[in-house]
Structure 1
Amino acid sequence: MTKYLHIAHPDNFILPLCDFIIKSKELEDHKFLFFSNQIEDRNYPLNSVFYISSPIRKNLINNLILFYRLCNFSDVIIIHGPTAAIFFKIFPRFTKKLVWIIYGHELYSMIHGIKVKRGILIRDSTKFTLKRAKKHLTHIEGDSILANKILESKAVFHYSPIYLSNVVNTDAFAPTKIEKKIKILVGNSNSPNNDHHTIFNELKKFENNIEYILSPLSYGNDLVYKETVKKTGSYLFGDKFKTIENFMPINEYNKVLSDVDIVVFNHWRQEAMGVTLTLLSLGKIVYVNPNTTSYKSLKDRGFKIFDNNLLFLNGPTIQRDVLDNKSLLEKYYSKEMLIASLKSLKI
C-alpha cells in the first residue's frame, strides 16, 4: 500500500483536509507533517500528525531527524505550496518522491521576481525543490503548464480538487434568470488584484439596468485600496453600491451570494477559485478575466463561464446558459473526485 506524507503549514485549507483524510475509511496511510506546533489540540490519532518544532533553528537537529524519518518512510511526499524547501535542499534524495500542490501565487512571485523576506537562500531553495517535483497536484492544468515553463521542469499534471473549499454542493443550483434590474457582485476581497475600478467604469454605462453592485471587502489587508474602492463605487453608483466589510458565517455569506444575479471578477491571475465554484454551484452567471489559467481550465472542461469583455460590450441583461455547470461540478468538484484523485496518486 502506498504511504503518503503531506507537508504543510496548518491553515484554514489544510486542517479541514487533514481531518477529512484521517477520518476517511477510503484514504489510508496518509500522514501529515505540519510546519508549526502552535495549533490547538485536535485529538488526531497516534502517529498520524507530526510537528516541526518552533523556533525551527533552535530545534533544528530534532526537526531534521523527524523530517528525514517521515520522508524516508513515505512513498509519495505531497508539499502544499512551496513548503519545506530548505529541508529538501539538505535531503535532495527525497525530491524523487515529490508532488507539489500548486497554489498559484508562488508562480507569479517567481515570474515577477518578488523578493522573499527571508532572503536569497529561501528563494533558491524553493526553485531547487519545486523544479524537481515529479507531479503537480492541482485542478488548474494551466498552472502546471506555467510551472513547468517557469522552472524548465517536466512534472506531470495530476487532477484533483485538492481542498474541501473546492468541493461544492449543487443542491441549491438554480440558474439565474435575468430580469430588467440586475444584482451584481464585483470582486471578492480588498486586494488590488481584483481591479474593481476597471469593472466599475465599464458597468457605469449600464447603470439604468443595475439594481445594486455588491463588493465584499472583508478579506485582505490593503486598507488603502479598500477605501479607494468604496469611494469610487459610491461616487459612480451612489446608493446602489454596497459593501461587505465584516466577516460573516459561511451560511450567511452563501445566502448573500445566492441573492445576486451575475458575478464579475477581473483578477489578472488565477485567484478566488473557492468562491467562483460556490457561485457556479448556485447557478450564477460568472464573468472573469479570459487571460487567467483558471478561465482556460474551466472552459476546456466545458464549464459555462464567460469572458468579461462580453459583459463590457453587451451589458448585464444578456441571458447566459449555465445549465451544464451542475453536472460538471458534480463530476470534477465532489468528495468522490477528491478521494479518487488522492487514491490514484502515484510516483
Structure 2
Amino acid sequence: MNDSMKNDILKISKELLENVKRFIENNNIQEAVKFMKNYEEKNPTDYRIPFIKVLLKMEVSNDNLGQYKDLILQGLEKSPLNFDYNYNQSLAQVALDNNEYLKALEIYEKVLAEVENLEVKNEIREKIINLENQFSSNIYHEFQGRNSEINEICNMKKNYKNLHLMIDSGYSKKFIEFMNKHFQCKKNLFLILDYKDNLEYMDANIASNVIYIKLKKGWEKCLDVNTQEILFFINNSEEIYIHQLSDFITWLICKYDIKAKMNWIVWGSDLYHNIDIKLYDKLTEKFLIEDCNLKMKDYKNTNEYIYRKSTIRRLNKIIPDGTKGDYIIAKKFFLTKASYEYFIYPNPVDFISLDNNYKIKNEFNLKKKYKYVIQLGNSGDPSNNHLEIVEILSKMNESNFCVVCPLSYGNFSYINKVIPKIKKILGDRFIPLTTFLNSEDYFSILNQVDVAIMNHNRQQAISNILPLLYLGKKVYMKNNITTYATFKKLGFTLFNVNEIDFKDFQDFILMNPEDKIRNKNIVLDNYNEDVLFQNIKKFIKI
C-alpha cells in the first residue's frame, strides 16, 4: 500500500463517524447501514468498519430504534481500538435479554480479541466459556437457523479473485509454482505471512503475485501497517484460502469481524492440536513431561481456542490435504456449516525424478555399512512417537540395520533431547538428519530405505509417504488414522504399526513385489500433475 493510497484513505475516512451519527440522530438506521456498505467498498481497510457494523446490527429497523439509540451514539464516541468494557457488557446483555445467545457470544468474542488488559481478557474468557456451557443447545440452533452474509458480501466488486494466506514452507513454494504454471497469475494473489527476517524456502520475488508480509510477535497488542495491509487484501478479494489456520489469522478474523468467503486448507496441526485426540503415546508423553519439561496444554481454556471456534463458524469450505476424514473430524469438534472439497498439495518431490540413478555420497551411503535401512517418522515433531518404535526395534532379532530419522524441522527442544536418548539405545545405528538436504542427497537416501514407519496418531506426512510408496517401500502406519483409510480405499498395500513382530525380522522387512508395483501405479494414477490440476480447477475460481 503506497503513501498516496494511504493519504486517500485517510482523507475519505475523516467524516465517517459524523455521517453515521447524523443518520442515527435522525432515526434513520437504514440509511446508516447503506452508507456503511458504500463506505466499505471505497475504504475496506478502515479498522472502524467492523466496530460500527456491530453497533448497527443491534437494530435493523427504524421502528424500534429508540431503546438502542443512546447505546449506539455512545458507542460511536468510544475509540474502536480501546473498547469500553462496561459498554460492551451492555451490548451483550441486550442480546442475552432477547435470548440471542449467539449474538452475545459473538460480541464477547470480538471484545476478547480487542482488549489488551489481561484481567479483563480473563474475565471475558470466563464469560464466553460459561455462556457456551450453559446455552450450547441454543447457540447451535441459532447458528443453524442463521442466513449467511457471505453471498451478499461476495457480490461486492473486488480487485482480486483468489487470495491465498500462506506461511514460508516448501509446500507453499511448490503450490505457488504449480498455480502460476497452470493458471493466470492475475487470478491468484499469495500473501506469505511469517515472522522471519528472511524467507527460508522461497524468494519473495518468485513471482509478481507473491507478497511477503512480516508479522510482529505480540500481535494481540498492536495494530500496525502490516495488519492494515493484510486487511486491505482480504477485503478486496472475492475468495480467501487460508493455508494453515494459525492463531494470528483466527485473531485477525475475530477482531475485525471479517465475513468474507473464507476457506480453510487444513494442514493437520491446525486441526489436531485443537481437539480432544491423544497425539502422544505413553513413552513419548512421559519423555515430554519428564525430560522436556513440557506441560500438556489445556487448549480449551485459551483465548486462541475461542478465536479459532469463532473463525471456523464463519468458514465457507473446509479443505483437508488429501483425506475427507479430517473434514469429518472438524465437523465433529467445531460448529460450522462449511462444505467439503477434495484437495491435495502438489508434492514437493517429483515422483519421476526418483527413478534417476543418483550418485550416492559416501556420507549417505547407508547400504555400505548396513544391510537394511529403516526410516522412522517424517519430522522432529513429538507426534511422530519415535520412542515407541525405537523400543520395538531395539528388541529385533536382527541388528544389521540402521534407523534414519528426518529431524531437520519440528520441535527443536524435543529434537535436542530425543537424539541422545535414541543414541543411547541404538548407538551408531541411529542416523538423525538434522539439516535440510538437497534433492539429490534426499532421493539417494529414500532409494536405500527398505521400510518406513510412520507412528502418528493423526493425519501427517502425506508428502513423505507418497514418494516411499512410489519407490515400492514397505510403509507402516497406524490403521486408525484418516490417512490410512484414504490410502486403503485407493488400493494401496499398507501395514499396521501395531502388528510389527520384533521376533520375526524377515516378516517385518519383506514385501510382495507385486504389491510394490501396484503401489507405484496408484501413486502415478492418483497424484499426477493433470489429476491435481483438474481437482483444483473444480473449486478455485479461475
Contact 1:4 1:78 in 2 (8 A): yes
SS in 1 for 2:499: helix
Counterpart of 1:165 in 2: which secondary structure?
Answer: coil
Equivalent position SS for 1:94: coil
Matching of residues 206-225 of structure 1 within 5 Å: 206-208=396-398, 211-219=400-408, 220=410, 221=412, 222=414, 223-225=416-418
Q: TM-score, normalised by structure 1?
A: 0.81
Structure 2 Cα separation of the partners of residues 167 and 206 of structure 1: 34
Q: Is the 8 A contact 1:160 1:342 kept in 2?
A: yes
Consecutive unaligned residues in structure 2, runs of 5 or more: 1-157, 277-295, 358-370
Aligned residues with identical type, % of pairs:
26
Displacement of 1:136: 1.9
Report the alpha carbon displacement of residue 252 of structure 1 after superposing the two structures with TM.
0.6
Q: Aligned-residue CA RMSD in angstroms?
A: 3.3
Return the alpha-carbon distance in structure 1 between the equivalents of residues 473 and 176 of structure 2.
Answer: 30
Asked if 1:72 corresponds to 2:230, the answer is no
Question: Using the alignment, how far apart are the partners of 1:203 and 1:67 within structure 2?
Answer: 49
Match for 1:16 among 164, 167, 174?
Answer: 174
Instruction: Measure how far apart 1:103 and its partner are.
Output: 1.1
Q: Which residue matches 1:177?
A: none
Instruction: Provide TM-score, normalisation by structure 2.
Output: 0.54
CA shift for structure 1 position 333: 2.1
Residue 141 of structure 1, CA deviation: 1.5
Q: Structure 1 residues 145 and 258, CA, compared in 2 at 3 Å: closer, same or farther? A: same
- 1:66-89 deviations in whole A, cap 9, x for unaligned? 334423332221001114212222
Bigger shift: residues 28-37 or 279-288: 28-37
| CA offset digits 1:175-233 (Å, max 9, x no partner) | xxxxxx6432223344432333322333445423x531223253241211221111112
* 2:318 corresponds to: 136
Q: Which moved more, 1:259-268 or 1:325-334?
A: 325-334
Of the candidates 165, 181, 201, which is equivalent to residue 348 of structure 2? 165
Is residue 346 of structure 2 the alignment partner of residue 152 of structure 1?
no
Q: Say if 1:167 and 1:334, in contact at 8 Å, map to a contact too.
A: no
Query: What amino acid sits opposite 1:155 in the alignment?
Result: A
Equivalent position SS for 2:403: strand
Larger Rg: 1 or 2? 2
- 1:267 match: 456
Partner of 1:329: 523
Structure scoring higher RCO (CA < 8 A, sep ≥ 6) equals: 1
Find the partner of 2:422 among 200, 210, 229: 229
* Equivalent residue runs for 1:69-218 within 5 Å: 69-83=232-246, 84-95=249-260, 97-112=261-276, 114=297, 120-137=302-319, 138-165=321-348, 168-169=351-352, 172=355, 182-208=372-398, 211-218=400-407
* Conservation of the 8 A alpha-carbon contact between 2:454 and 2:478: yes
| Shift of residue 317, structure 1, vs aligned partner | 4.3
CA–CA distance in structure 2, aligned partners of residues 104 and 332 of structure 1: 21
Give, in whole Å, the separation in 1 of the partners of 2:162 and 2:267: 20
Specify the SS of the correspondent of 2:259.
helix
Deviation at 1:3, TM superposition (A): 1.7
Report the structure, 1 or 2, having the larger strand content.
Answer: 1
Unaligned residue ranges in structure 1 (runs of 5+): 175-180
State the 1:259 CA deviation: 0.9
Residue identity matched to 2:205: N
CA contact (8 A) 2:354 2:443 kept: no
- Counterparts of 1:24-35 in structure 2, within 5 Å, are 24-25=182-183, 29-35=187-193
Deviation at 1:30, TM superposition (A): 0.7
Measured after TM superposition, the shift of residue 93 of structure 1 is 4.8
Alpha-carbon separation, structure 1, partners of 2:540 and 2:469: 31
Contact map agreement 2:309 2:335 (CA 8 A) in 1: no
Residue 155 to residue 322, structure 1, CA distance change in 2 (3 Å): farther
Q: Secondary structure at the match of 1:316?
A: helix
Equivalent AA in structure 2 for residue 86 of structure 1: W
Deviation, 1:50, is 3.6
Summarize deviations over 1:42-65 as a string: whole Å, max 9, x none: 43554x234445446798364454
2:404 is matched by which residue type in structure 1? S
User: Is residue 492–residue 522 contact of structure 2 (8 Å, CA) maintained in 1?
Assistant: yes
* Paired letter, 2:529: K
1:224-251 CA deviation, whole Å, 9 max, x = no partner?
12211111123xxxx6554444442222
Helix, strand or coil at the partner of 1:4? strand
Evaluate the alpha carbon distance shift between residue 186 and residue 29 of structure 1 in structure 2; reply closer, same or farther with a 3 A threshold: same
Counterpart amino acid of 1:197? L
Q: When the two structures are aligned, how many residues end up with a matched partner? A: 332
Bigger shift: residues 277-286 or 263-272? 263-272
| Conserved? CA contact 1:161–1:337, under 8 Å | no
- In structure 2, distance between residues paired with 1:109 and 1:192: 12
